[in-house]
Structure formats: structure tokens, C-alpha cells
Amino acid sequence: MKEDFSDEAKTVLKEVLKDVTDELIQILGLEQILGSLTTTEPCPRPNNMTNTQIVNELNTRGLNDSGTKEEKIQRLRLDDKTCNLNGKTWMLPEITSDTLKKHLYYSLSSDCQRIDACVDFSVKVLGQVITKAFKAYIEIDFCNFLLGYGFEGLRKTTILINYNWGQMERYPVTDNIHILGKIVKNDDKKVFVVDFGMKLCIDGSCILEDKMFIKDLEIPIPICNESFKWPGGNTISDMINAIGGHLTTEAFNIILRKLGIDSIFTENCDLAVTEKGIPNN
């Protein structure tokens, strides 16, 4: 009798959870990207971690785990918002808006190439208050001429060849969720100046209305691609001539991406070349 009741309770609970999930998806308008949702936990704010979680995270990052809890929290927060490149420390700005502090947490990758943002919020679903989080990012792959925007498991990539620097980019994930970004290239300072934001609306009400939560953030251009120009000119032959008549792997990958055919090649595809430069069959 007890086992029957337990099984029945589990069945009811599963049905309730499914109803809540379905309603939440409908409220947020996520039906079209349901398979790409990856975030199941709240935003990783150090302030909300237990002392054990904080110590474990510090140890994972190779950081000092001594001091008071507040000191350890500040150590994590500092690590989240700083990076070192070209002999200099770069830092994300503090979040000053009360609204953004409530809903947003962001971090900078250790190589300074990527900004991750996590937005969480509460919504009432079938009489229950549910907290949901989303993650988005902007990434500049300096050495491979790529600009990437991401939301959960979705990604949009742009090749930074003949790119119109300073244009506002809008990546519509759904009608109610947009990723916003703008990148200016400052040749004198050898930095990119980045704006990054979101539009996030729920059931007709916007938590973020085309809100730029990062503005004028300077990110260094690594030495590997400091000049950031398409070698030689605007054609493939110009590029090959400019790099000495030999098509390097990196240059070949750039050409494939520019032509939109990189997905049909594999990393293990090798061509044997004869003295005349013609592949053997």
C-alpha cells in the first residue's frame, strides 16, 4: 500500500513538473529554441554560494582559499571580471544599475576573448514563482578572424574580413530575446571597443529593453593578429601571394569559412601533393 502511494505521488509530481515546464516555455516564448536550452542552474554569483562551494571554486581556479567568506567572494568576483594579456590587466566594469545587479552576472575569459553574461529572473507559473536563468556571450576570436554571439546552445558566427567595424549587431534568438553587440576597432590603441547587451521580454514585460550592460569596454588585440588585415587584398590569390605563395592551414580555414564550405571538410582530410603540386588520386 505504501509503495503504491509512493509510485502514485511520483507520477503526480512528474505531471505537475511537466505542466509547469510547458507553461513556462509558453510564457517565455521558447518553443522554437527548446532543444537549445542548456542552463538549468541559477547564475553563478559568488554571493549566493556556500562557503564550501566558494572554497572548491577557488581551488579549481588555483586561487588562494584563505580569509573570511567575504574576502573569498571578492577574490572570485575579481577573477571573474579580469584577464591578463600583452602584459596588462583588463577588467570588466562594475554593475552599477540596481536592475542589472538584480538580474545580471557577467565574467571575462582568462584570455580576454570572451564575455559571458547570465541573466536570471522570477516568473509566476501556475501559481508558483519559478526562477529561470539564461546565458549569452560575445566572443572575438582574434587569430582566426571570427566574431561569435551565443545564447544557450545557439551560436552565430561572422567572419571578420572586410567587416564593418562599429555597426550595431542584433542577433534575434526569438521575438522576445535578442543579443546586441557593437565592436569598434581602435588601431591607435590596438584594442577593440566592445558594447554588449540584450533584449529580454517576458509575457509582454521587458526585463531588459535593448539594454547595453557593457559599453566602451576595451579588449586588447593579441600579437598573433595585431594588424588585423586580410593579407594582400580581397581575393584568394592575393592572400596566397601575400603570405609567400603557400597556403597555410590557418589561411585555408579562413578561406573555407569565407566561402561558407568549412563544414564539409574534416580536420583529418589530408591531400598528398606531388612535385608539381597536383594531389595524387
Which residue segment(s) compose the domain that 101 sits in? 8-161
Three-state secondary structure readout of 11-30 = HHHHHHHHHHHHHHHHHHCC
Total structural domains within the chain:
2
157 and 235 part of one domain:
no
**Model pLDDT, residue 193:** 92
Helix (H, G, I), strand (E, B) or coil at 206: strand
- Residue 189 domain flag: no
Domain for residue 42, yes or no? yes
Average pLDDT over every residue of 234-259: 56
Higher pLDDT, 67 or 20: 67
Residues 160, 144: Cα–Cα separation, whole Å:
9
Q: How many CB atoms lie within 10 A of CB 90?
A: 17
Does residue 229 share a domain with residue 156?
no
pLDDT band at 280 (very low <50, low <70, confident <90, very high): very low
Average pLDDT over residues 66-92: 92
- Does 181 fall in a domain? no
Contact indicator for 147, 139 with CB cutoff of 8 Å:
yes
d(CA 150, CA 162): 22
50 and 147 fall within a common domain? yes
- Tell me, yes or no, if the pTM score tops 0.95: no
Q: How do residues 125-138 score in pLDDT, each as one tens digit?
A: 656 667 778 899 99
Domain boundary among 134, 161, 188: 161
> 23 and 156 share a domain?
yes
The pLDDT tens digits for 29-50 are: 667 677 777 777 788 889 889 9
Residues 19 and 104 in one domain: yes
Last residue of a domain, one of 112, 142, 161: 161
Q: What is the tens place of the pLDDT at every residue in 189-221? A: 888 899 999 888 876 777 788 888 889 999 888
Q: Are residues 267 and 130 part of one domain?
A: no
Q: Based on the domain organization, do 154 and 256 belong to the same domain?
A: no
Same domain, 20 and 148: yes
**pLDDT reported for residue 68:** 94
151 shares its domain with 274: no
The answer, yes or no, to whether residue 83 has pLDDT greater than 60, is yes
pLDDT tens column, 87-112: 889 999 888 888 788 888 999 998 88
Higher pLDDT, 154 or 202: 154
pLDDT for res 153: 87
Quick one: cell of 221? 588585440
